[in-house]
Amino acid sequence: MTEKIEVGSVVTGKVTGIQPYGAFVAIDENTQGLVHISEVTHGFVKDINEHLKVGDEVSVKVLSIDEEAGKIGLSIRATQEAPAQTEAPKEKRAPRRRQAAAAFKQEEAPQGFNTLKDKLQEWIEQSQR
């Protein structure tokens, strides 16, 4: 690894490869890191190919350096300003629906099922016949 690259620094690199899980970015001739798909841009990325192509020059922030494994974690998203939250005003939002609680009285037997107490009496009568 190289000593000049530090966690938190922002550098320019070139996309050298794209996989479904992220993009490999060459920081210099000897150093390459991975931009995980979740670090490509703000928001959900379904297909990384819609955002990056091999050969693209990108600005990346160094998130982590693992000297032993020889891996560098990079982020394009960290170099971009987060989009403003466009939340709908409360009066325009659809109201949340609550699930209605089952409302029945204890004295009433639930429809379709006999209670054990009722069945027990019925079984006693059947056994005495």
pTM of the entire predicted model: 0.60
CATH code of the region 10-79: 2.40.50.140
The pLDDT tens digits for 8-48 are 989 999 999 999 999 999 998 888 999 999 999 888 888 99
- Contact status, residue 54 vs residue 14, Cβ threshold 8 Å: no
The pLDDT tens digits for 72-122 are 999 999 888 877 776 655 566 666 776 666 655 555 555 666 678 888 888
- Residue 35, judged by CB atoms within 10 A of its CB (0-12, 13-18, 19+), counts as buried
Alpha-carbon distance 48 to 118, whole Å?
64
Distant-in-sequence, close-in-space partners of 22: CB < 8 Å, separation ≥ 6:
34, 35, 36, 37, 39, 40, 48
User: DSSP letter at 108?
Assistant: S
